[in-house]
Structure 1
Amino acid sequence: MITADTTHTTDAEAPARGALRALLPALAEHRAMTARTCAAALLEQGSLVALLTLAAHTVGTAVLEGRAPTAVTVTALVALVLVRALMTWREMDLSHDLAYRVLAALRVRVFDGLARSAPARVAGRRSGDLAATAMADVEALEFFYAHTTAQLLAAVTMFTGGSVVLATVEPWLPAAVLPVAVLLAAAPFADARARAARGNRTRKAVARLSADTVETVDGLRDLLSFGALTERRRKLAERGRQVGDAQRAEATWEAVAAAVRDLLIAAAVLGVVAAAAQSVTSGRLHGAWAPAAMALALSVLGPVAESARSLSQAVALRAAAARVGAAVKAPALAPPPAAPRALPPGPLGIRLHRVRFDYGGEPVLDGVELTVRPGQTLALVGASGAGKSTCAHLLARFWDPSAGAVQLLSAHGDPVDVREVSDAELRRAVVLVGQETPLFHGTLAENLRLAAPEADDELLATTARLCGVGKIAPMDTLVGERGATLSGGQRARVALARALLVRPRVLVLDESTAHLDNAGDAQLATALREEGRTTIVIAHRRATVRRADRIAVLEKGRITEEGTWEELTRRPDSALNRILTTSPS
């Protein structure tokens, strides 16, 4: 049974907590680089703290004691400046290198998840929305991986170490910065839910704009033909305004958060100055060391403030992380077998045995029984919505039935459940040519070789000639994105030729010749007849159905009639006659 996809939240809803944390294990594949990035961040922040502290002590000594800095001090300052510059560059280089390596692997995992759960999880979803998850949402996580993890670890380390040092020098100094550090660290989480909801609103708006833009480009010819381009541009402009409003709302709240952080730091400065002044007045802290102590206190607070800013921005990415995480963890609707069985050699037949299936509501198939002998051509006929395409998808194992079994039969009648066959072997044995023909921007030859990259030029030319593809254009002709330069009939010929390159033992045609005229349909039917291949033809065209060896009629989720054309059409109450009455001749 297929259930509805519930991984998407509404605009006002905040994604579940832990979405970002769930993506941290992706760093485990790059432990060495993660360790180097954390070390570089620690050295970068540590060199800055040491530089500011030593510089403040040098100035304090020069002003209060009238002593010029020694050569050792000057050398140390110069060295710290160089180390700071080098480590800043190195940390940025490593963190971004790490982030883009993680994103590269994450994109593959997202595509694997979409492929693993297709077609159910992608059915009904717009291509632009899927593209937003696969590309834009993954890209947005670059900030999380490049600017959050290593910097947060380094900030915690520096603040802890600095506080220990300050406590040994003057206990009131860490007391002045600790409350501010706690407030800075807590601020991103205090507004986390609202911030995540605003981020979700932005991601949703971007996904809608992406989907509408992709559909506009795809349908530009029709929009121009029907004069609907102006209305479509108005809709795109409205989507753009929605993205702008969502982004402005995020930016406004981030500006408020930044102002709050600045006020907290200003309060920390006042507290540190007051604590240092009290320490100097009471004699607990030497005057020349007071500037150094204040610099140390404020410099260890700086990374905490920067980490709070990064965490605030990262929380807004929770929606993107949730969408990516849902795609990565999408369950397989047709899980691979634990111990795959090899298919027997030779021709294969098929059997649907008591098959039941539904999409989360009323059963589409309810106890279907159907057997097709090896080498036989069967026409599966039924009204729209009867479940014919569902049968085709079950044969290709896009889904598994909720009850019953889909089996491949050897010449001796031995059944093998498709759930026990590895995906690679099943794809070589059973090929489905659907109602739509997915073609990619490339040449005819490249689109044909999608099915069989190893096919040589001779086999490619023979198959193309058999299906009439050679009459369309030369093999090096660009077909355009989604085959935009080809007609519906030409795309059907390319799809059939691509399927035949695999040399399948079972070929399932789901209305794949509907765009062809009767002559073209008859020509391809002759080309598709190959001894030993089993063919399932789903069609409404009378001539196509008549050419089949046997015909099965599917009504209300069950096979109600089965036989030859002559056997079925001579019955006065034949369901086949009733279904074909309104179909093309």
Structure 2
Amino acid sequence: MSGTTTADITAGRAGTPDKGALRALLPVLGAHRAMTVRTFGAALVDQAALVVLVTLAAHTVGVAVLERHPPPAGTVVVLLALVLLRSLATWREMDLSHDLAYRVLAELRVRVFDGLARSAPARIAGRRSGDLASAALGDVEALEFFYAHAVAQLLASGAVFTSGAVVLGFVDPWLLGAVLPAAALLVLAPLLDGRGRAARGARTREAAAALSAETVETVDGLRELLAFGALERRRERLRGFGGELGDAQRAEHSWEAGAAAVRDLLVVGAVVGVVAAAAHTVSGPWAPAAMALALGCLAPVADSAAALGQAGGLRAAAARVGAAIGARAGAPEPTRPVPLPAGPLGVRLRGVRFDYGGTEVLAGVDLVVRPGETVALVGASGAGKSTLAHLLARFWDPGEGVVELLDASGTAIDVRRVADADLRGAVAVVGQDAPLFHGTLADNLRLAAPDAPDGRVREVAELCGIGHLVSGLAVGERGATLSGGQRARVALGRALLTSPRILVLDETTANLDAAGEAELAAALGASPGASDRTTVVIAHRPSTIRRADRIAVLSNGRVVETGTWHDLTTRPGLFTTLLTRTP
């Protein structure tokens, strides 16, 4: 299988995330350079103002106590100005940092969605919708702390500590000697524990994703759970998942509390060292000022160490977001697309092979569907019929072989050379369970043709037997207000509204009775362009198969029989065997 691999699908979802996961998301700040610089500037002023304020305040108190002089009016004014500056800088830094973070998160959400869309359906195969929601929303939201607090704060803390250390070195090297070991240990501690923090964070994110998936699945299936009396059992499952999340969060927060206690001990040790050094080397009012300067420089380092620790726990979220953003396309866009010719189009598959992570489904399919022809694709369940439908729509690319579009003259164009928008306009796939979205019925019909006029929408709705529903009917989420047959009619109408040149029907009429199936077959025949439209029908019902111009039988990953209904039913073969098994 080309494109997205199993490793891509599971990236960031198990084990300890790569330590570069957060660093890999830093380039997203490149689009917000000006705001990042302003945020750093506000953080720098905030932290520097605090250091200057506590230093000057300590000197003022020292003068008042030791020399019994009231502070000069100018000093008081400066202190008040520093308090005001610090207040404004703190407010500004918080405003800018959160503004920056929310802008970045908005961009990340779009990139995650683009990654999921680019690699779908391969990437979302087997993944629960709640887990996808957790990656698209919860994991991105968790990174708010990293962008709002960690980046600018670390840069500003480094600048303030470096400047303060230089001043301390000139004032008294012994004070610097008391501060440097504590600062080094504060920074080193979260780095040394980075792997453990990442593992604990990964456990929390995995538990949150599992609970989200379980919750979404439970809400979707409430009617069935109530109908079969399984709600209490499901509630117990939710309690279990909630308990696992609670255990993970408690373990993470308990460790963070211990790390905070260690940071406090390091700061206290630095205080003792600073006091001891100042007692022997600095005298007069400058002694408390020097101690305040030393500790003032250390405070931002302690805050940054706490931020580093919390950021380490976000590596799992960053890894999941990064995996979604960087997901490889299952069917990448061509660099030099070829335009499609006008007129009817057919399909040709030559030596097509395809596997799902090592399990071969198609083992060399050869098939030609001529322009305007209707071909029924039949076979036992699991024979690869739906996989062929996905290849025709280029949801994936074959591992080997080629899928081509044929014009009336027989000229072939590899679908990998066709622009995605052109291919979507030419080929439409309607599945058995095509999803509907919350909104009106007309909105759902217009999904691929948003500019379709009301008259055209009503015409298609009438053809598909839902004309009486089209006026203002609200469709519940996933089509909950419609029956299975009505959803099938909407899905078909949605495809017909785009006037596709190739229509692939993958068990579309499975939810309809015989009369409803006949009605839709008549609607297909009466729809505009029906005579030129090429149709591939995947079905099990003999009544559906019989309407096709030709039948192709799929078995063991290959087309083993082709012919008309009369040809295949008048001789023994796999097709007649399949018919005898059909209820």
Could you say which TM-score interval applies, normalised by the shorter chain? over 0.9
The match for 1:582 is 581
- 1:503-582 superposed matches below 5 A: 503-529=499-525, 530-571=530-571, 573-582=572-581
The match for 1:409 is 406
Alpha-carbon separation, structure 1, partners of 2:9 and 2:508: 33
Per-residue deviation, 1:338: 1.0
The match for 1:67 is 69
Alpha-carbon separation, structure 1, partners of 2:405 and 2:485: 31
Q: Tell me which of 479, 486, 490 is aligned to 2:486.
A: 490
The match for 1:180 is 182
The match for 1:501 is 497
Alpha-carbon separation, structure 2, partners of 1:227 and 1:265: 58
The DSSP-based 3-state class of the residue aligned with 1:287 is coil
The DSSP-based 3-state class of the residue aligned with 1:536 is strand
Q: Deviation digits for residues 435-480 of structure 1, max 9, x if unmatched? A: 2121111111111111111111111111111111223x24311111
Per-residue deviation, 1:101: 0.4
- 1:143-154 superposed matches below 5 A: 143-154=145-156
Per-residue deviation, 1:567: 1.2
- 1:102-501 superposed matches below 5 A: 102-279=104-281, 285-471=282-468, 473-501=469-497
TM-score calculated relative to the size of structure 2: 0.97
Alpha-carbon separation, structure 2, partners of 1:459 and 1:186: 68
Alpha-carbon separation, structure 1, partners of 2:289 and 2:10: 52
Per-residue deviation, 1:576: 1.3
Per-residue deviation, 1:7: 5.5
Alpha-carbon separation, structure 1, partners of 2:137 and 2:436: 21
Q: Deviation digits for residues 281-336 of structure 1, max 9, x if unmatched? A: xxxx3411111111110011000000000110110010000000000000111111
Q: Deviation digits for residues 223-256 of structure 1, max 9, x if unmatched? A: 0000000000000011111110000000100010
The DSSP-based 3-state class of the residue aligned with 2:339 is coil
In the alignment, is the contact (CA less than 8 A) between 1:395 and 1:406 conserved in 2? yes
Alpha-carbon separation, structure 2, partners of 1:146 and 1:292: 32
Alpha-carbon separation, structure 2, partners of 1:296 and 1:235: 55
In the alignment, is the contact (CA less than 8 A) between 2:12 and 2:316 conserved in 1? no
Alpha-carbon separation, structure 1, partners of 2:378 and 2:422: 28
The DSSP-based 3-state class of the residue aligned with 1:581 is helix
2:312 maps to a residue whose letter is V
Alpha-carbon separation, structure 2, partners of 1:173 and 1:27: 37
Alpha-carbon separation, structure 1, partners of 2:470 and 2:57: 74
Per-residue deviation, 1:363: 2.4
Per-residue deviation, 1:392: 0.3
1:9–1:251 distance in 2 versus 1, CA, 3 Å: farther
The match for 1:88 is 90
TM-score calculated relative to the size of structure 1: 0.97
In the alignment, is the contact (CA less than 8 A) between 1:354 and 1:369 conserved in 2? yes
In the alignment, is the contact (CA less than 8 A) between 1:11 and 1:197 conserved in 2? no
Alpha-carbon separation, structure 2, partners of 1:481 and 1:526: 29
The DSSP-based 3-state class of the residue aligned with 2:117 is helix
Alpha-carbon separation, structure 1, partners of 2:184 and 2:264: 14
Extract unaligned runs of 5+ from structure 1.
280-284
1:490 maps to a residue whose letter is Q
Q: Percent identity?
A: 67
2:503 maps to a residue whose letter is L
Alpha-carbon separation, structure 2, partners of 1:409 and 1:538: 20
Alpha-carbon separation, structure 2, partners of 1:128 and 1:7: 15
- 1:28-47 superposed matches below 5 A: 28-47=30-49
Per-residue deviation, 1:185: 0.2
In the alignment, is the contact (CA less than 8 A) between 2:393 and 2:428 conserved in 1? yes
In the alignment, is the contact (CA less than 8 A) between 1:11 and 1:201 conserved in 2? no
Alpha-carbon separation, structure 2, partners of 1:238 and 1:521: 45
In the alignment, is the contact (CA less than 8 A) between 1:132 and 1:206 conserved in 2? yes
Alpha-carbon separation, structure 1, partners of 2:116 and 2:12: 21
Per-residue deviation, 1:362: 3.9
In the alignment, is the contact (CA less than 8 A) between 1:140 and 1:317 conserved in 2? yes
Alpha-carbon separation, structure 2, partners of 1:147 and 1:103: 14
1:524 maps to a residue whose letter is L
Per-residue deviation, 1:170: 0.8
The match for 1:20 is 22
Alpha-carbon separation, structure 1, partners of 2:10 and 2:139: 13
Per-residue deviation, 1:403: 1.1
In the alignment, is the contact (CA less than 8 A) between 2:551 and 2:564 conserved in 1? yes
Alpha-carbon separation, structure 2, partners of 1:576 and 1:22: 54
Per-residue deviation, 1:528: 1.1
Q: Deviation digits for residues 117-165 of structure 1, max 9, x if unmatched? A: 1111110111110110000000000000001000000000000000000
Alpha-carbon separation, structure 1, partners of 2:434 and 2:136: 22
Alpha-carbon separation, structure 1, partners of 2:47 and 2:334: 52
Decide which moves more: 58-67 or 27-36.
58-67
Alpha-carbon separation, structure 1, partners of 2:243 and 2:11: 21
2:127 maps to a residue whose letter is R
1:144 maps to a residue whose letter is F
Alpha-carbon separation, structure 1, partners of 2:16 and 2:364: 43
Per-residue deviation, 1:9: 7.0
Q: Deviation digits for residues 497-541 of structure 1, max 9, x if unmatched? A: 011111110000000110011111111111112121111000000
In the alignment, is the contact (CA less than 8 A) between 1:407 and 1:415 conserved in 2? yes
Per-residue deviation, 1:72: 1.3
Alpha-carbon separation, structure 1, partners of 2:569 and 2:102: 64
Give the paired residue count. Answer: 577
Per-residue deviation, 1:485: 1.2
Per-residue deviation, 1:420: 0.1
2:387 maps to a residue whose letter is T
Alpha-carbon separation, structure 2, partners of 1:296 and 1:450: 64
In the alignment, is the contact (CA less than 8 A) between 2:13 and 2:320 conserved in 1? no
